[in-house]
Amino acid sequence: MILDPQGNPTRPRITDEQLVLALKQMHQRSLSMSQQIVHLGLFTEYLYDQLARAVDEKGMPLIQIDMEAFPGWAEIRYEEMQNDATQRVAEMRDQRINLNE
């Protein structure tokens, strides 16, 4: 909710030009994020390829990567990340509440 200087609820007035500019900026951010995701995927594939090529003198892999374990690992890691984010949001909310007191 947005409040005016007197503390009354108000709706922002956005011009068409401001709306178009905001949409263009969001589009650019979206393109940038998409590019980052592609680069991350390519980098991950490159690392995996390099690790797969790393072999000893007998042709045996130097590093074994158990890809079948990935889904379980990813699920646990995703939960950890969600919990961390939830905790950070709560801490930020608590800090904001403390600042307002």
Percent over 90 (pLDDT), the chain: 59
Can you tell me whether residue 94 is helix, strand or coil?
A: helix
Token pair in block for residue 12: 């922002």
DSSP string for residues in 23-75: HHHHHHHHHHHHHHHHHHHHHHHHHHHHHHH-B-TTS-BSS---GGGHHHHHH
User: Which pLDDT score, from 0 to 100, does residue 26 have?
Assistant: 94
Q: When comparing pLDDT for 100 and 55, which is higher?
A: 55
Reported as a single tens digit per residue, the pLDDT across 83-96 is 999 999 999 888 87
Answer whether residue 99 shows pLDDT above 80: no
Answer whether residue 97 shows pLDDT above 90: no
